[in-house]
Structure 1
């Protein structure tokens, strides 16, 4: 029997898929951040903070989560991503939990009046006062992006920039209002105890939350990720009644009342609007982008994803880094560290990569935290696209 020689260089690995999903978890990492309850005019707010390291003069990032999520399920995986962890050695991060949205939260009292989105935005004032935060960079997703936008419009001097994922600037449509009212009704019908996770979310709410975060799903999408969030949206960690109150507040939102050319009601800071091309909220981001000043705003769409923080963390991290550089934060130490890590993975020259990796990551202190010079971007960077309607 004769065998023909095979050209191994012509063999291409087309597709490899594991027979079982990869192991993922949405359990809270106790060593990643610490939590504290902060008093506000509308009750206590659970705030998780990380990156302190005893340096209270680092620049601050404040995050706010989307519907059906909280600090853990919305941000933990992304802020634990390698590139972001390197970046955050020079920042402090404060993660906002909407009232009653933290894991295993008790049911809010029957006489508790849930804050409106404007009032949720005003709660951030109490957090800034509590931690003596002078200015911050907002990082919001969905409902959280809307809340941070309201805060930035009402308190422009406190916000250096807004990084918004799947934001909306309009009031809810009739179809959204009706569908969300049904979710509120079903969530309230499923409650009967005072602890989260005792009753599962109704299947209609589970399906809605999956659509809200992932859009249309197919076999080629991250199966392990989708299965993990499908399990999470059964209500194992979140309190159903508390979520119904948050959703009800969100669908009663008012319009942000921003318009291109209206300087009185416009963002004074730089804004980046980001979405995934598979997200059901693309049109909302385009609408918001059309109302922003093109001189200080950017719209960006990532391919093959909807839940961008989970599906495309590397691209989001790169976009966020470039956004911070655009605000004037020089990230030279981060670039040196990231470049050295890349060299270690691609080269066997240990001495060269070792010398690079020994460079210290410098924190930002006082007035030195803001730099005018912006260094060269790293290799293979994701370039932020220009505003698609800047010339309209």
Structure 2
């Protein structure tokens, strides 16, 4: 019998994308994609009080419970799509509305948030690094400003500044200029990428816009730090935190001299170097060795697809982050609550404890990430914090072992009061049924032995 190969072209429905109407100005809380044409994701642009637009991608559901994700440096919201498309996570997602928050300027096709000066006027990053011993922090900060904006005395708001003075973390200054305090209108020019604290405070606009009572935070790397800062100051808005590769300290000497980030000024000019990719890989994998070349190539391509100026801003904000200021109290909870009640709500001093349930996760092969997790876990409340080292994994747990991570996330949600009626056996059964249904649909449109489903007798 002669076999002939047939290529069947499925008759797929037409998909149309609807953007902003002609002549409309971007931003101002407009729904960028029509809800009717985007069955999986709804894209929103929310302008924060600082004037910086923030993109949020929502996976709608009938549930009022919410999961809010925040991505790492060198990636964007799409880094969560693969993990949340995993069968077990698809079952879990049916009980939540997912909000993927994209860091400012990190969505596809975005323009630079700040002026891109190619003549080196605001590229004093390396100069301030290597000349930190030759002058004061105020001199280094003044050196970053153009001649026409040189103040009579170095002052203003800066990362790590306290009061009217300012200081630099290990002598390093931001590659961006300072933002005037009065520049809060949406039409004002943005001169500096937000700090980590400002990125965390922007989430209040997301919570208010979608009228979220509280949410479960799901962060990765630098996004874990942003969510931890938000929960530290707004615990009433957070139900729980699931933080992958978290870090609660500053960018220390060891981390600085190992990472270097020497090509960051070039990235701010729009030049993406191979050395910078190596630095990002070291951050992602915690200096572990990733054997999956396809995974490395995918995230390298994702990093190159981002706007380099905005990517440099997020990296700069992360390496100039401040310490979370967490302190583990040796006293029992009753004594701590009594002390807080006696001090009153107007007690001076920043918060020193994240008062929500947290799960800290990283891979056992990522030595630096494991060290950072151990340090953060030692400063958290042991009654509300648990940690997990996934064996035989580096920093990219969502791709390296999604089955294990999804099951751990499921157990964590059950511990904090979600999915009480679902057992692990029921989760696997529903995931298998969902996977089978997906295979049947794929076989219908793409006839192939790879998607063939066994017929029950």
Does structure 1 residue 310 correspond to structure 2 residue 316? no
Return the offset for 1:249. Answer: 1.1
2:357–2:385 CA contact under 8 A, matched in 1: yes
1:123-158 alpha-carbon deviations (Å, 9 max, x no partner): 000000000001111111111101100110101111
Match of 2:42 in 1: 34
Deviation for aligned residue 1:177? 4.1
Displaced runs of 4+ in structure 1, greater than 3 A?
175-181, 215-219, 230-233, 333-337, 341-345
> In structure 2, how many angstroms separate the alpha carbons of the residues matched to 1:343 and 1:47?
30
Q: CA contact under 8 A between 1:114 and 1:249: conserved in structure 2?
A: yes
- 8 Å CA contact 1:176, 1:251 repeated in 2: no
Alpha carbons of structure 1 residues 318 and 44: separation in structure 2 relative to 1, 3 Å: same
User: What secondary structure, in the 3-state scheme, does the structure 1 residue paired with 2:106 have?
Assistant: coil
Aligned to 1:97: 102
Mapped contact 2:66–2:98 kept (Cα < 8 A): yes
Q: 1:187 matched to which residue of 2?
A: 267
> Who is 1:155 aligned against?
234
Give the SS at the match of 1:48.
Answer: strand
Aligned partners of 2:114 and 2:362: how far apart in 1? 36
Q: Which residue of 2 aligns with 1:284?
A: 372
Q: C-alpha deviations, 1:266-324, integer Å up to 9, x for none?
A: 11111100000122311101100000111110111001111101111111111110110
Output the CA distance in 1 between the equivalents of 2:67 and 2:359.
15
From the superposition, tell whether residues 183 and 175 of structure 1 become closer, same or farther in structure 2 (CA, over 3 Å): farther
CA distance in 2, matches of 1:48, 1:232: 17
Please name the residue that 1:259 is paired with: 327
Q: Which runs of 5+ in 1 are unaligned?
A: 1-29, 192-198, 346-392
Quick check: 2:365–2:391 contact (8 Å CA) kept in 1? yes
Matches within 5 A, 1:1-392: 32-42=40-50, 43-50=52-59, 52-53=60-61, 55=62, 57-72=63-78, 74-110=79-115, 111-112=189-190, 113-177=192-256, 179=259, 181-189=261-269, 191=270, 201-216=272-287, 218=289, 221-233=291-303, 235=304, 237-261=305-329, 265-279=352-366, 280-306=368-394, 307-333=396-422, 335=424, 337-341=426-430
Is contact 2:261-2:276 (8 Å) kept?
A: no
Distance in 2 separating the partners of 1:104 and 1:177: 31
Q: Which has the larger radius of gyration?
A: 2
TM-score by length of 1: 0.72
Greater Cα shift, 143-152 or 96-105: 96-105
Task: Report the count of equivalent residues.
Answer: 300
Residue 348 of structure 1 is matched in structure 2 by none
Offset from partner CA, 1:159-212 (integer Å, 9 cap, x none): 1111011111111113544645523212124x1xxxxxxx6x211111111121
DSSP-derived class of the 1:160 partner = strand
Tell me the alpha carbon deviations over residues 336-366 of structure 1, each in whole angstroms, 9 at most, x when there is no partner.
6534357879xxxxxxxxxxxxxxxxxxxxx
